[in-house]
Amino acid sequence: MIYFDNAATGGFKPDSVKSAVHAAIEACANPGRSGHKLSIACLERIYACRRALCDFFGGYGYDRTVFTKNCTEALNIALLGALKAGDKVVSTVAEHNSVLRPLEYLSKRGVEVRLAPLNSNNDIDIFALAKTVSYDCKAVIITLASNVTGAFPDIASLRALIPQETLLICDGAQACGHININMKRDKIDALAVAGHKGMYGIQGSGALLFSKRLNPSPVLYGGTGSESFNLNMPEFYPDRLESGTLNYPSIISLGEGVLYLQSRFNENKDKILHLTQKLINGLQNIKGVSVYSRLNPFGIVAFSLGNMQSESAAQRLSEDFSICLRGGLHCAPLMHQALGSDGLIRASVCAFNCEREVDALLVAVNKLASE
């Protein structure tokens, strides 16, 4: 089986990550809840992961690095926890439903939401976006990479185009682990992280990092092991946003993923770029195939195959060739609308994939195209 669905979830975890998860389950206590040695040891490891993650992304403080169950929860905290009726925000048609659905919910409660279009290159039109941003715009919410095509905005340019006062909230689901992100350098106010894709963590891991200009209210309420006599959530972070027992094994996996990335960031990036370019070139040479992606460091290649429905093509590739990739809308409906597509086939490679697998996909697509 060839796994090219790494943008849905990373199909391969480094041995170091797997071992760390195993160890975290083997010697397991509830971090931050009890004062005994094992609990404190677990808490110290959680903090080490928090520090590693914050430093990796140039975050604004270890307390402003909170662990979530996935990138969606992180985005919900940043959006539902920080926006209120009367706020004006601008987002884009390239967003995933993890942004669009919270914004739809908020728009019914008095938040004014505008969406920037794509430009003629099918990239997010950051100039059109900037024009939509009024001086009193509270926040721009933008993905750092389209999960459909891998198109990615120039965040430094975007930041320069919008008012300093406007918060910049970024969906890092696809981008984290693949490109160099530094929140302080890029003046990003919130970064939502998926742990289980480019970060090499396991499912159940995610994080929200945020600046001192953003002070999200909780979306979940519960025990924190701190200020237990206070029936309100503590005012301080990270406790304010981390209710209930933390997912220790997943957090450990994310911390270990950061370590792994630190040692192989450039090597992995080069490999992904090489495989992506090879795949794009190969697909462009197949008659009937339209490629919707340009070279990108996320390993995402979206394409269509004649008039074949994308889900049918993906199913054929799975059943007849044992190649796993994803058809359909990829939870990004407005992106497809903007592309004029009703679904695309998306291959997403990672650094654990190899040229031979790309060749096999090209052979398979060729066969389907010539039927």
Q: Can residue 304 be called a binding residue for its own copies (CB under 8 A)?
A: no
- Own/partner pairs for 307-315, CB < 8 Å, 24+ apart? 308/368, 309/343, 310/342, 310/343, 310/344, 310/345, 311/343, 313/345, 313/368, 314/345
Among 39, 119, 290, 366, binds its own copies (CB under 8 A): 39
Among 86, 110, 163, 222, binds its own copies (CB under 8 A): 222
Among 159, 196, 240, 269, binds its own copies (CB under 8 A): 196
Within 113-132, the residues that bind its own copies by CB under 8 A are none
Question: Within 10 Å of residue 361's Cβ, how many Cβ atoms?
Answer: 22
Q: Can residue 109 be called a binding residue for its own copies (CB under 8 A)?
A: no
Q: Can residue 358 be called a binding residue for its own copies (CB under 8 A)?
A: no
Is 349 exposed, middle or buried (CB count within 10 Å of its CB: 0-12, 13-18, 19+)? buried
Q: Tell me how many residues contact its own copies (CB under 8 A).
A: 83
Among 231, 266, 287, 370, binds its own copies (CB under 8 A): 231
Q: Can residue 194 be called a binding residue for its own copies (CB under 8 A)?
A: yes
Among 65, 132, 224, 293, binds its own copies (CB under 8 A): 224
* 224/296 with CB nearer its own copies: 224
Cα radius of gyration (the chain): 21
Instruction: Give the CA-trace dihedral at 282, 285, 286, 288, to 10 degrees.
Output: 130
* 30/119 with CB nearer its own copies: 30
Binding mask 57-86 for its own copies (x = CB under 8 A): ------------xxxxx-xx---x------
Q: Can residue 25 be called a binding residue for its own copies (CB under 8 A)?
A: yes
In whole angstroms, the minimum distance from the beta carbon of 311 to its own copies comes to 6
Q: Can residue 102 be called a binding residue for its own copies (CB under 8 A)?
A: yes
Half-sphere exposure in the Cβ direction for 66 (13 Å, CA): 29
Q: Can residue 215 be called a binding residue for its own copies (CB under 8 A)?
A: no
